[in-house]
């Protein structure tokens, strides 16, 4: 009997210290579960830990052709983590998928004696399904919206149908891990290559980042082909199917795959996407601005001691929902930036005013961007005692100049930054976002505000003529 390839055709998996994934699979198999070899490998990576016992990767993505059990390991992992006392969110794009996954998981939890005695309750009301364990762990289920999960807190989030995930939905979901009790959150993304009607952009951006060598700490596993095959050559098409379908020979029969090859002979692009996992390079190519090589080359363990000027940058999101603060200094050998803090604006900006004004004796300037929010914050700062000449409300041209200045400093090797995972995520995911009518650009991507705030701080430090007559230090 022939079986499909169990090894990813492409992956960015990094090192890890240990994993209990194989032992976990043995436990489930003792309860009657059967894993493909690739699913055992996936659970090994989900359970991988570093030498301190923390997640070796907090973001793991799996891309497979349809019907290849991409959600199987994620379901078992969700049960495992909830049984260990973690709060788990299982999220999908379609309500039918959420209901199906809830049924799979709730049936397994109630039907497996070793699990059933750990279950406190199963809540089955539509829209609020959940499995709750006696130790406080839980798995809650949600159909994604732009506001769903706000106000909740989770340790582990499983994103099913990841190709449909938008950044608005990610903005609603990902911050729920910030206050996780473990302080060690993780997100698992499982999906398929998107078609031209797919509205999601997160999974596609992650795919581009992984293939561009800019995945950072994210692990990406993919079963795919680069070519669109001639389906009249059935033998070659079948070989490609065996290369990219780990379930072939298990749950997918060879004769069924051959029938699909014949059915799609006039639509080879669709067959390559749906059955071979091909990502269409013409659909989207993210224009990344910062390479991992240049970013890592400018990393430093310590901020500079001798400083010429200190400035702060403040960036409001376009919808005004959050605000980010960063700092920059100039010195004899170049410049240095640091991400300081991001907070939702629903609780106000008094903390930001107090933080900046408390440092007015050291700071040469503060640059603010964010339309109406920027003007209001500038007025509040001046009213609280910040010198008027130190407050710079950035115009569109200023924001364009600031972003270009930061990118150039990174590429020139004249800028340094600390090894900050939050800022690294923003930097390595930064794409070119057109601004204005003259070819200017700003930062796009998953979380550009952190990098934007650093750029504003650097621009303020380099362009302000104000000197508080004292040497500054960040913080």
Query: How large a percentage of the chain has pLDDT more than 70?
Result: 93
16-25, 49-58, 171-180, 379-388: least confidently modelled range: 171-180
* pLDDT tens digit sequence for 132-151: 999 999 999 988 875 555 55
- The ranges assigned to domains in the chain are 10-276, 292-463
Residue of 166 and 389 predicted with greater confidence: 389
20-29, 269-278, 298-307: least confidently modelled range: 298-307
Q: Average of pLDDT values for 21-45?
A: 95
Is residue 41 pLDDT above 80, yes or no?
A: yes
Does domain 292-463 bear CATH number 3.40.640.10?
no
Query: Which residues are within 8 A (CB) of 20 and not within 5 positions of it... i.e. 6 or more apart?
Result: 47
Q: Average of pLDDT values for 245-260?
A: 94
Instruction: Sheet with 119-123: list strands edge to edge.
Output: 10-11, 219-222, 59-63, 186-191, 156-159, 87-92, 138-143, 130-133, 119-123
Q: Average of pLDDT values for 229-250?
A: 94
Q: What is the pLDDT of residue 293?
A: 74
80-84, 191-195, 419-423, 439-443: least confidently modelled range: 439-443
First to last CA, the chain: 64
- Quote the CA–CA distance of 261 and 229 in Å, as a whole number: 10
* pLDDT tens digit sequence for 429-449: 888 888 776 778 888 876 899
Indicate the Cα dihedral angle 69, 71, 77, 80, nearest 10°. -90
Q: Average of pLDDT values for 104-119?
A: 93
Q: Helix/strand/coil (H, E, C) string of the chain?
A: CCCCCCCCCEECCCCCCECCHHHHHHHHHHCCCCCCHHHHHHHHHHCCECCCCCECCCEEEEECCCCCCCCHHHHHHHHHHHHCCCEEEEEECCHHHHHHHHHHHHHHHHHCHHHHCCEEEEECCCCCCEEEECCCCEEEEEECCCCCCCCCCCCEEEECCHHHCCHHHHHHHHHHHCCCCCCCCEEEEEECCCCCCCCCCHHHHHHHHHHCCCCCCCEEEECCCCCCCCCCCHHHHHHHHHHHCCCECCCECHHHHHHHHHHCCCCHHHHHHHHHCCCCCCCCCCCECCCHHHHHHCECCCCCCCCCEEEEEEEECCCCCEEEEEEEEEECCEEEEEEEEEEEHHHCCHHHHHHHHCCCCCCCEEEEECCHHHHHHHHHHHHCCCCHHHEEECCHHHHHHHHHHHHHHHHHCCEEECCCHHHHHHHHCCEEEEECCCCEEEEECCCHHHHHHHHHHHHHHHHCCCCCCCCCCCC
Which of the four pLDDT bands, split at 50, 70 and 90, describes residue 381? very high
Q: Do the strands 440-444 and 322-331 form a parallel or antiparallel pair, or are they unpaired?
A: unpaired
Residue whose tokens read 């290369």? 243
Is residue 285 pLDDT above 50, yes or no?
A: no
| CATH topology identical between 10-276 and 292-463 | no
Which of the four pLDDT bands, split at 50, 70 and 90, describes residue 343? very high
Q: Which CATH superfamily is domain 10-276 in?
A: P-loop containing nucleotide triphosphate hydrolases (3.40.50.300)
- Quote the CA–CA distance of 364 and 468 in Å, as a whole number: 6
Residue of 268 and 447 predicted with greater confidence: 268
Q: Provide the mean pLDDT of the chain.
A: 89
Q: In degrees rounded to 5, what are phi and psi of residue 285?
A: -130, 105
* pLDDT tens digit sequence for 198-231: 777 889 889 988 998 888 889 999 999 999 999 9
């Amino acid at each position: 009997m022939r079986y499909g390839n169990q090894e990813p055709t492409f992956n960015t998996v990094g090192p890890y210290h240990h994993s209990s994934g194989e032992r976990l699979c043995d436990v489930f198999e003792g309860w009657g579960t059967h894993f493909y070899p690739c699913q055992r490998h996936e659970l090994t990576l989900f359970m991988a830990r570093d030498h301190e016992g923390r997640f070796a990767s907090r973001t793991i993505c799996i891309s497979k052709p349809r019907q290849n059990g991409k959600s199987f390991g994620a379901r078992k992992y969700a049960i495992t983590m909830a049984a260990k006392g973690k709060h788990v969110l299982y999220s999908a794009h379609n309500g039918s998928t959420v209901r199906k996954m809830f049924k799979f998981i709730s049936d397994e939890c109630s039907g497996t004696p070793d699990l059933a005695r750990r279950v406190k309750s199963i809540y089955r009301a539509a829209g609020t399904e959940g499995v709750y364990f006696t130790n406080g762990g839980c798995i809650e289920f949600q159909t994604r919206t732009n506001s769903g999960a706000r106000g909740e807190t989770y340790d582990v989030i499983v994103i099913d149908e990841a190709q449909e995930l938008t950044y608005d939905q990610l903005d609603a979901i990902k911050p729920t891990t910030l206050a996780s009790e473990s302080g060690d959150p993780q997100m698992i993304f499982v999906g398929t290559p998107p078609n031209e009607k797919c509205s999601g952009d997160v999974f596609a951006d992650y795919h581009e980042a992984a293939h561009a060598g800019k995945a950072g700490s994210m692990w990406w596993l993919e079963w795919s082909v680069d070519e669109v095959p001639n389906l009249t050559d059935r033998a070659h098409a079948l070989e490609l199917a065996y290369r990219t379908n780990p379930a072939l020979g298990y749950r997918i029969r060879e004769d069924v795959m051959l029938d699909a090859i014949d059915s799609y002979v006039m639509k080879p692009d669709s067959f390559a996407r749906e059955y071979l996992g091909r990502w269409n390079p013409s659909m989207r190519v993210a224009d990344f601005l910062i390479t991992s090589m240049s970013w890592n080359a400018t990393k430093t363990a310590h901020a500079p001691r001798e400083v010429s000027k200190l400035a702060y940058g403040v960036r409001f999101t376009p919808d005004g929902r959050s605000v980010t603060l960063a700092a920059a200094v100039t010195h004899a050998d170049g410049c240095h930036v640091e991400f300081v803090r991001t907070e939702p604006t629903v609780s106000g900006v008094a903390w930001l005013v107090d933080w900046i004004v408390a440092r007015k004796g050291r700071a040469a300037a503060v640059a603010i961007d964010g339309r109406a929010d920027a003007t209001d914050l500038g007025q509040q700062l001046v009213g609280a005692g910040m010198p008027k000449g130190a407050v710079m409300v950035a115009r569109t041209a200023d924001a364009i100049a600031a972003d270009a200045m930061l990118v150039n400093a990174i590429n020139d090797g004249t800028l340094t930054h600390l090894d900050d995972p939050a800022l690294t995520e923003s930097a390595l995911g930064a794409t070119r976002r057109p601004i204005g009518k003259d070819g200017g650009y700003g930062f796009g991507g998953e979380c550009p505000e952190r990098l934007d705030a650093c750029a504003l701080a650097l621009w303020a430090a380099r362009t302000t003529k104000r000197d508080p007559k004292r040497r500054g230090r960040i913080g």
